[in-house]
Amino acid sequence: MLQVISLLLENKPGALMRVTGLLSQRGYNIESLTVARTLDPEISRMTIAVDVDSTQRQQVIKQMNKLINVLQATDLTDLPAVVRELVLVRIRMPQESRTAVLKEAEIFGGRIVDSSTEGFAIEATGDPEKLGEFIDVMRSYGEIEVTRSGALAIGLEAKKLRLQPPVPTKTKMEEITY
Amino acid sequence: MSTLMSGARMLVECLVREGVDCLFGYPGGVTIPFYDVLYDHPLRHVLVRHEENAAFAAEGYARATGKVGVCCATSGPGATNLTTGLVDAMMDSIPIVAITGQVTSKLIGSDAFQEADTFGITRPCTKHNYLVKKLEDLAQIIHEAFYVASSGRPGPVLVDITKDVLQAQGHYQQVTAIHLPGYRVFTEGHTGQVRRAAQLVEEAQRPLVYGGGGIIAAGASKELREFVELADSPAVLTLMGLGSLASEHPNFISMPGMHGSYAANMALTNCDLLIALGVRFDDRVTGRLAAFAPHAKVIHVDIDPAEIGKNRAPDVPIVGDVKRVLTKLNKLLAESKSAPDETLRAARRAWWHRIRQWKQEHPFDVATSDTEIKPQHLMAEIDRLSGGQAIVASDVGQHQMWAAQLVRFNEPRLWLSSGGLGSMGFGIPAAIGAQFARPEKLVFAIVGDGGFQMSIPELSTIASNGLPIKIIVMNNGHLGMVRQWQTLFYNNRLSAVELDGFPDVEKLAAAYGFKGRIVDKPWELAPALEEAVAEPGPYLLNVKVTPFECVYPMVPAGSGLEEMVLGPPQPVAVPAK
């Protein structure tokens, strides 16, 4: 099944590699992954959709939480959350289909971002499944090329970010002796 | 206020402040600045003969003491050679810090000489790793590395440092705090869950402790002994947990699992309460998971939340440090006012009776022969000389299993063995690390003739440092464990397991300047081992044992523990024509 995970991670070199490496190391298939900075430039937000056996969902979250750069890992699969995706479609179709394509795009809330004699570039956002349907419909009109952003998610219930306080070092403090 | 110093010197300074007294390494181009500081510094550097062994030696040091072991290597091949040891430490949760040199930061990404992406390569081999490209980050990162390696579930941490950082000049800023906001260490254990655990322990008719390396990592041996006595519970200890409860303690049964004892495996299969302490339900212990402790409720205590429920869903999960959790649990049990009723007392007596019976029915086979040295005979003799007190570093294979079965360990941190990763070539370098850590101890390196040949370069390290390690080669002329599987499961088609061309150990040891001999007569075994132990310096003993012995009991891979095979297939009478 598809598990949607929202991660807050420290914006440190290699942090992304740790997350993707962990997923492949443990045999979980990444369906999509998006990452960008949050309001705090030191922290990134990552949304990952993983294809994983439902019995393994908790284990994925626990393994994520073990990564030192991960501040919080939340399984949004069963929580109230909004999941959205952006898709860009470039379509080439016969002249006579232009109006129909425009209509269909409108039904799906798509926006024309480029228009030429050959066709359109259309931008649409929405629920990933809905976008799948949009793509299918567009395909029926002509030759298309598609770029999807991958799922972006936000939980609808506030979850407190619990950070660990600094730990005093226990190292020996005497002055250098050489 | 503070003196100007190089990054290399700052690194040494940090190591000293972390209490490092000895490190294992091998120099190379980019780490020369570091070695230049060591030139006239009291910090002891042990020059190994291969970087992999530097990591294993650091592990041996850490396993024998509980302190963080330190190893270092140069960029490129030096760093890649460390990786086996890093993964080994990862699998067995051993705290080590590895320092590697990296090419100058400007050259990173240019395929420079001896450049490798150490940071990328070692990401899955470590608990955490760092690449230091700025001098001002160095001290903080080194102290962080030691903190991460030794806290929570211990593990290896690698710090890759570019050459320009080692050469740059800067001021050492006192590091007073480690701030890792995303690094959670769970130690206390949920009080409510501990109370539930105590209740289950009191009510259990057939309790069993299943303890592992976590007890040793937590230093919880005393608490474990108190617990088994208070709970009147028998205990099995995994390969990683041997010694955490003295082998001679009456409540100790033995090691369970693929080559565990009949009694241990039967106890696991029949218990009604499994108290799992610092273990991870590894496949070599559980066999087929569905058949593992099928009648038991499970209390699982571990410091790593990800281990809880990973392989077996517990009835009482407790995330915490085993020592602290056991302390709480013991207090509850000691203060408990509920006296067991007669039914329960009778059930417990019956449980102990069954366990004693299992132990008597099929103890580990200590076969001896008048004509050949049996491997078990060798282990029994080593056990006699050790008396449960010596440090024994093993390699991986049949000898490892026989040693685990037959050698007693009356204290933790005596049995040093590569459990999770099963790295051949571990035994001798681990013994080196342990002997540096505990110079007063008698240290045996029990190795097979296969693993020994992976570690021959380190004989030089042993010789040049005069380490009185007793290397005992259990020589059956084969890669015995693979040979055993080929015999039992591949129709005895022995493929690539014969080890011809084993060197003459007397000459080999002499070439390094110490004593060695071969022994192949059973009556010569005890005197030969005694001579080895009496020798003040290193000793290399090549013990020729029965070549085709198999380790029993054996639970075939994928079988339940109860389906263990107790001995070789019996010859079947051929009906007369």
Q: How far apart are CA B214 and CA B221, in angstroms?
A: 10
What is the number of other CB atoms lying within 10 angstroms of the CB of residue B499?
18
Closest residue, chain A, to B131 (C-alpha): A13
Instruction: Give the Cα-Cα-Cα angle A70, A72, A78 (nearest 5 degrees).
Output: 130
Instruction: Work out whether the CA dihedral B94, B95, B99, B105 comes out positive or negative.
Output: positive
Length of chain A: 178
Q: Write the pLDDT tens digit of every residue in B164-176.
A: 999 999 999 889 9
**Average pLDDT of every residue of chain B:** 96
Q: How many CA atoms lie within 13 A of B477 on its CB side?
A: 9
Provide the token pair at B478.
């084969």
pLDDT at A110: 96
Mean pLDDT of B155-161: 98
- The yes-or-no answer to whether B191-361 and B375-561 have a common fold is yes
Q: Write the pLDDT tens digit of every residue in B268-322.
A: 999 999 999 999 999 999 999 999 999 999 999 999 999 999 999 999 999 999 9
- In CATH terms, the fold of domain A2-79 is Alpha-Beta Plaits (3.30.70)
Which CATH number applies to B191-361? 3.40.50.1220
Query: Across the interface, do A65 and B184 touch by the CB < 8 Å criterion?
Result: yes
Instruction: Give the Cα-Cα-Cα angle A156, A159, A165 (nearest 5 degrees).
Output: 160
Mean pLDDT of B98-114: 97
pLDDT at B571: 64
- Chain B residues with CB-CB distance to A18 below 8 A: 123
Q: Which CATH class is domain A82-153?
A: alpha beta
pLDDT at B402: 98
Q: How far apart are CA A67 and CA A56, in angstroms?
A: 17
Query: Across the interface, do B178 and A169 touch by the CB < 8 Å criterion?
Result: yes
Q: Write the pLDDT tens digit of every residue in B363-372.
A: 998 888 999 9
Q: How far apart are CA B517 and CA A132, in angstroms?
A: 74
| Sequence-separated (6 or more) residues with CB below 8 Å from residue A117 | none
Please check the confidence at residue A173 and state whether its pLDDT lies above 70. Answer: no
Please check the confidence at residue B325 and state whether its pLDDT lies above 60. Answer: yes
Q: Is residue B401 flagged as an active site residue?
A: no
Strands A111-115, A167-168: pairing is: unpaired
Q: pLDDT category, A178, cuts 50, 70, 90?
A: very low
Residue from B13, B18, B51, B226 carrying the catalytic annotation:
B51
Are B55 and B71 in contact by the 8 Å Cβ rule? The answer is yes
Query: Across the interface, do A63 and B147 touch by the CB < 8 Å criterion?
Result: no
Q: How far apart are CA B403 and CA B28, in angstroms?
A: 38
B176 touches A at CB < 8 Å: yes
Mean pLDDT of B457-473: 98
- Chain A residues with CB-CB distance to B42 below 8 A: 178
Provide the token pair at B144.
């962080």
Residue from B10, B16, B153 to probe the interface with A (highest A Cβ count within 10 Å): B16
Q: Which H helix or E strand runs over A47? A: strand A43-51
pTM: 0.96
Q: Distance from A78 to chain B by nearest Cα, in Å? A: 20
Instruction: Give the Cα-Cα-Cα angle B521, B522, B525 (nearest 5 degrees).
Output: 90
- Chain A residues with CB-CB distance to B124 below 8 A: 21-22, 25
- Give the start-to-end residue ranges of the domains of chain B: 4-171, 191-361, 375-561
Please check the confidence at residue B577 and state whether its pLDDT lies above 80. Answer: no
CATH code 3.30.70.1150 region(s) in chain A: 82-153
Query: Across the interface, do B175 and A14 touch by the CB < 8 Å criterion?
Result: no
pLDDT at A171: 58
In chain B, % helix, strand, coil (3-state, to 5) comes to: 45, 20, 40
Q: How far apart are CA B59 and CA A87, in angstroms?
A: 51
pLDDT at B313: 96
In Å, how far from its chain's centre is CA B166? Answer: 33
pLDDT at B572: 63
Are B255 and B264 in contact by the 8 Å Cβ rule? The answer is yes
Strands B207-211, B169-171: pairing is: unpaired
- Helices A98-107, A128-139: inter-axial angle, 10-degree rounding: 170
B174 touches A at CB < 8 Å: yes
- In CATH terms, the fold of domain B4-171 is Rossmann fold (3.40.50)
Q: Distance from A156 to chain B by nearest Cα, in Å? A: 23
Q: How far apart are CA B3 and CA B10, in angstroms?
A: 10
- Chain B residues with CB-CB distance to A169 below 8 A: 143, 147, 175-178
Q: Write the pLDDT tens digit of every residue in B472-483.
A: 999 999 999 999
Residue from B36, B119, B123 to probe the interface with A (highest A Cβ count within 10 Å): B123
The percent of residues above 70 in pLDDT, for chain B, comes to: 98
Query: Across the interface, do A68 and B120 touch by the CB < 8 Å criterion?
Result: no
Q: Write the pLDDT tens digit of every residue in B243-253.
A: 999 999 999 99
Query: Across the interface, do B120 and A17 touch by the CB < 8 Å criterion?
Result: yes
B179 touches A at CB < 8 Å: yes
- Chain A residues with CB-CB distance to B119 below 8 A: 14
Please check the confidence at residue A177 and state whether its pLDDT lies above 70. Answer: no
Are B472 and B535 in contact by the 8 Å Cβ rule? The answer is no
Query: Across the interface, do B3 and A176 touch by the CB < 8 Å criterion?
Result: yes
Closest CA to A131 of A85, A77, A100: A85
Q: CATH homologous superfamily for B375-561? A: Thiamin diphosphate (ThDP)-binding fold, Pyr/PP domains (3.40.50.970)
- Chain B residues with CB-CB distance to A173 below 8 A: 17, 174
Are B497 and B479 in contact by the 8 Å Cβ rule? The answer is yes
Strand partners, B162: B102
Residue from B90, B255, B266, B481 carrying the catalytic annotation:
B481
Q: Is residue B227 flagged as an active site residue?
A: no
Sheet of strand A43-51: strand arrangement:
A29-37, A43-51, A2-10, A70-75
Residue from A20, A56, A169, A177 to probe the interface with B (highest B Cβ count within 10 Å): A169
- Chain A residues with CB-CB distance to B182 below 8 A: 9-10, 67-72, 163-164
- Chain A residues with CB-CB distance to B184 below 8 A: 65, 164
B124 touches A at CB < 8 Å: yes
Query: Across the interface, do B180 and A68 touch by the CB < 8 Å criterion?
Result: yes
Please check the confidence at residue A175 and state whether its pLDDT lies above 60. Answer: no
- Chain B residues with CB-CB distance to A66 below 8 A: 304, 306
Q: Write the pLDDT tens digit of every residue in B174-216.
A: 899 999 999 999 889 999 999 999 999 999 999 999 999 999 9
Q: Is residue B5 flagged as an active site residue?
A: no
Q: Which H helix or E strand runs over A43? A: strand A43-51
Q: pLDDT category, B137, cuts 50, 70, 90?
A: very high
B39 touches A at CB < 8 Å: no
What is the number of other CB atoms lying within 10 angstroms of the CB of residue B26?
24
Query: Across the interface, do A169 and B3 touch by the CB < 8 Å criterion?
Result: no
The percent of residues above 90 in pLDDT, for chain B, comes to: 95
Q: Say if residue B553 is preceded by a cis peptide, omega within 30 of 0.
A: yes
Q: How far apart are CA A68 and CA A89, in angstroms?
A: 38
Are B92 and B106 in contact by the 8 Å Cβ rule? The answer is no
R_g (Cα) of chain B, nearest Å: 25
Burial (Cβ within 10 Å: 0-12, 13-18, ≥19) of residue A41 = exposed
Q: Distance from B139 to chain A by nearest Cα, in Å? A: 12
Mean pLDDT of B255-271: 97
Phi, psi of B138 (to 5 degrees): -60, -55
Q: Is residue B114 flagged as an active site residue?
A: yes
B17 touches A at CB < 8 Å: yes
Closest CA to B400 of B526, B292, B240, B210: B240
pLDDT at B575: 67
Q: Is residue B453 flagged as an active site residue?
A: no
Residue from A9, A20, A61, A68 to probe the interface with B (highest B Cβ count within 10 Å): A68
Give me the helices (H) in chain A, please.
15-25, 57-66, 98-107, 128-139
Query: Closest partner residue to A58 among B124, B174, B309, by Cβ?
Result: B309
Q: Write the pLDDT tens digit of every residue in A122-151.
A: 999 999 999 999 999 999 999 999 999 999
